[in-house]
Amino acid sequence: HAQVEESGGGLVQPGGSLTLSCTIFGLTFADYHLGWFRRFPGKEREGVAHLSRSGISKFYADSVKGRFFISRDNAKNTLYLQMTSLKPEDTGMYYCAAGYYSVDVAIIRERDYTYWGQGTQVTVSA
């Protein structure tokens, strides 16, 4: 059974940067598509950034395009989300997820992810 652990959340000022990490144990990391999702208070979870198992195919939500960057290090079983130019509206709980899909494309549908972390809180405030 896979274990997903996020880290790196915290409080940052508007315009600042933060990098989230997600380490996954208990599966063949290189075989899985990976993604970051977030949930705003009182709202449903939404996709932020997604990465295929090869790392070639990436997909970003329009709200973060050009500011957030997703990457993976298969040797460390770790997924990253580099967040720059942060805005107060980026405040929320951020979740890492892993899913298996036969085609090497970035997977954006939440239902296609099998393993989820508990989340790490990101707060953007002055």
Tens of pLDDT, residue by residue over 21-69, are 999 999 999 999 999 999 998 899 999 999 999 999 999 999 999 999 9
DSSP code at position 67: T
pLDDT tens digits, one per residue of 75-91: 999 999 999 999 999 99
Return the pLDDT at 41: 85
Return the pLDDT at 68: 98
Return the pLDDT at 78: 97
Strand partners of residue 73: 78
pLDDT tens digits, one per residue of 89-119: 999 999 999 999 888 889 889 999 999 999 9
Return the pLDDT at 103: 86
Please enumerate in sequence order all residues whose Cβ is within 8 A of that of 110, keeping only pairs 6 or more positions apart, or say none: 37, 45, 47, 97
SS (H, E, C) the chain: CCEEEEECCEEECCCCCEEEEEEEECCCHHHCEEEEEEECCCCCEEEEEEECCCCCCEEECCCCCCCEEEEEEHHHCEEEEEECCCCHHHCEEEEEEEECCCCCCCCCCHHHCCEECCCEEEEECC
